[in-house]
Structure 1
Amino acid sequence: MTLVSSTPMLKEARKSGYGIVAFNIHSFDMLYSVAEAAAELDAPVIIQTTVGTVQNLGPDSIVKTARAAAEKFHVPMALHLDHCTDLDVIIQCIRAGYTSVMIDASMHPFEENIRLTNQVMDIAKYIDVNVEAELGKVGGVEDNIVVSDKDAEKAVPAECKEFIERTSVPTLAPAIGTAHGIYSGDPDIDFDRIAEIASLVDEPLVLHGGSAIPEDDVKQCIALGMAKMNVSTELKNAYSEAIKEHFLEAPDSLDPRKYLAKAKDVAKELAKSKMILVGCAGKAPEIKEKAYSNEYKLDSLQV
């Protein structure tokens, strides 16, 4: 199975009441740790990269590695560009073979957000590439996008409905009180707002800032209609802490195969715990049957 668009898998997840985890990876062995976790649990998964990771590793190399992992482990796997504000980078990633992209125009006024989102939709809707947009402003730091607590704004339910009607965007990330990064206290999630938005739109909703949210809160978000949960900082920290621990215990052990293997195993176990939490473990066969019965490939995209 090659890389697939996340649209069908997320629609199926929302309809069936579970979630799919999207993991931000920063290296190729992190990508494989997530892919192996999905294979061991027979779970669909979304691999995400920030613009910074695209610039560091290169979109072509990322796509080739993700395709190899998808074909090796044979689970439904999408490759998503997270929080991108630059149309040229979005086009570059789609041409390389990304199957999902996020246009983040949430820092702009509502009408401008619609205009910029429609620019991406005009490209992606013809080639089965998922598009994600954001309404409101999720606080915290994601790559080079910084939103302070005072500037964070929750999404307006009626605007979510209008936004989807005017853009036909297949996935929407409404700001509902979560933040990027690790929380200093419990997040102030507005569950009533999620429920109201979900009652107005059928499209899968995306939970940003999914690192270290209390498990009961995650389950409630999923039950209310959040079909995709993003995990970035928690995975990155677990991976890095494993390397730090290796050198604290054995400072002269300089073989990268040893300390990277430890980091990869720790990241894999974290990824598995998140997949189990959102309920997608064991859902790969169902996703293949219901969402990808006629598997398509993105090898010959012309953008």
Structure 2
Amino acid sequence: MPLVTSKELFTKAYANKYAVGAFNVNNMEIIQGIVSAAKTENAPLILQVSAGARKYASPIYLRKLVEAAVEDSNLPIVLHLDHGESFDICKQCIDDGFTSVMIDASHHSFEENISITKKVVEYAHSKGVVVEAELGRLAGVEDDVQVSEKDAIYTNPEQAAEFVQKTGVDSLAIAIGTSHGAYKFKGEPNLDFERLQEIAKLLPNFPLVLHGASTVLPEFLELCNQYGGDIPGAQGVPEEMIRKATQFGVCKVNIDTDLRLAMTAAVRKELFADPKNFDPRKYLAPARTAIEEMVRHKIVNVLGSDNRI
């Protein structure tokens, strides 16, 4: 099976009220852990590459690893560019074989965001590639994406409808209170579901995307801190809120921080238990298993029970 676009995956997800997991990848073990979980659960996948991942591993290495995952699993897998910052970056990834790209022009004016996104959509569609865009701005830090709380902007529902109509984009990342990174909420977690429902009402049958949707699972946070980490007070999006969002048009849920925490917790534990261990295979194998178990949990318990091929 070749790499696929998200179009059919989102159509099915919208109709059955679940979301497809979009997992950020940086190396072989992360990809193997995610794909092994999806293979066990017979679930579709979006594997996405951020600016930080491109700098760290090089797009060609990541693309070949994802192609190997497709061959090994025979699952429908989307190779997606996460937070493409310009038309040129999106074009490069499209030309390099990505089947989905995100153009993030949310830091521009509404009119400029439309103009840039429309240009990407026209080029991508001519190559059979789908496009995600963003309207509104999420607070937090993830790789090269850094937005302070004062600069965060919730998505305006009327603008969302206008944006989709004028750009022809295939999916839209919205801001309703999630944020990038491990510190998503200072107080009680809260998402603006009224805003989400209004956006979904104005954009019927249109796939919405939730960025910054890691739940910052306590067991991994505790393991990290137990074995030398210093990540106090981290807090993610409660799982029940993610499940609720899938009932109102959210078809793609982005997960990165939980992958990092699972992997780091396992590595810290292994090296603490055996300080003489200098074999990466012996501490990365448990890290890969931790990722697999965490992703299976997401597929089975968070993204929706119908999230299957």
Question: TM-score with structure 1 length normalisation?
Answer: 0.91
| Offset from partner CA, 1:125-179 (integer Å, 9 cap, x none) | 1222121100011111121121111111100000000000001101001111110
Counterpart of 1:42, as a letter, is: N
Q: How much has 1:281 moved relative to structure 2?
A: 5.9
CA contact (8 A) 2:18 2:307 kept: no
Structure 1 contact 41–281 (Cα < 8 Å) conserved: no
- Number of the residue aligned with 2:222: none
Deviation at 1:56, TM superposition (A): 2.1
Alignment correspondent of 1:169:
169
The amino acid of 1:209's aligned partner reads G
Aligned to 1:245: 269
Report the CA distance between 1:91 and its aligned residue: 1.6
Change in CA separation of 1:125 and 1:139 when aligned onto 2, cut-off 3 Å: same
Compare 62-71 and 190-199 and name the one that shifted more.
62-71
Distance 2:268 2:161 in 1: 46
Distance 1:52 1:178 in 2: 20
Task: Indicate which of 179, 199, 202 corresponds to 1:200.
Answer: 202
Residues 280-303 of structure 1: CA deviation (Å, up to 9, x unaligned) = 66611xxxxxxxxxxxxxxxxxxx
Gaps of 5+ in 1: 285-303
Distance in 2 separating the partners of 1:187 and 1:120: 35
Partner of 1:232: 256
Gaps of 5+ in 2: 216-236
Aligned partner of 1:197: which letter?
I
Q: Give 1:190's aligned residue.
A: 192
- Quote the Cα distance in structure 2 between the aligned partners of 1:118 and 1:219: 31
Deviations 1:1-56 (A, max 9, x none): 12111122112211221111100111121011111111000000100110121122
| Greater alpha carbon shift after TM alignment, 261-270 vs 274-283 | 274-283
Query: Residue 7 in 1 paired to residue 31 in 2?
Result: no
Looking at structure 1, the residues matched to 118 and 68 of structure 2 have their Cα atoms a distance apart, in angstroms, of 32
Cα distance in 1 for partners of 2:35, 2:94 equals: 21
CA contact (8 A) 2:299 2:307 kept: no
**Equivalent pair of 2:16/2:306 in contact (CA under 8 Å):** no
Matched, 1:211 2:187: no
**Equivalent position to 1:260, from 284, 289, 300:** 284
Letter in 1 for 2:191: I
Match of 1:296 in 2: none
- Provide the C-alpha distance between the structure 2 equivalents of 1:129 and 1:239, rounded to a whole number of angstroms: 31
The CA deviation at 1:237 is 1.4
Residues matched between the structures, number: 284
Q: Percent identity of the aligned residues? A: 40
Measure the CA separation in 2 of the matches of 1:13 and 1:117.
24
What residue number does 1:118 align with?
118
**CA distance in 1: counterparts of 2:20 and 2:243, whole angstroms:** 12
Alignment-derived partner of residue 290 in structure 1: none
**Distance in 2 (alpha carbons) for counterparts of 1:86 and 1:241:** 34
Write the distance in 1 (CA, Å) between the matches of 2:305 and 2:29: 22
SS of residue matched to 1:46: strand
1:34 matches 2:58: no
Which is worse superposed, 119-128 or 98-107? Answer: 119-128
Per-residue CA deviations over 1:200-226 (Å, capped at 9, x if unaligned) read 113100011111111111111011110
Cα distance change of structure 1 residues 271 and 164 upon mapping to structure 2, 3 Å threshold: same
Determine helix, strand or coil for the equivalent of 1:102. strand
Paired position in structure 2 for 1:79: 79
Paired AA for residue 194 in structure 1: L
Provide the rounded CA distance (Å) in 2 between the counterparts of 1:30 and 1:179: 22
The residue type paired with residue 179 of structure 2 is A
Give 1:295's aligned residue: none
Counterpart residue identity of residue 196, structure 2: I
1:186 to partner: Cα distance: 4.0
CA contact (8 A) 1:48 1:80 kept: yes
Matches within 5 A, 1:130-141: 130-141=130-141
Conserved? CA contact 2:86–2:105, under 8 Å: no
3-state SS of 1:125 partner: helix
Match of 1:279 in 2: 304
Checking the alignment, whether the CA contact within 8 Å between 1:43 and 1:280 is kept in structure 2 is no
Letter in 2 for 1:207: L
Deviation string for 1:92-119 (max 9, x for gaps)? 2111111111100001110000001011
- The amino acid that maps onto 1:242 is A
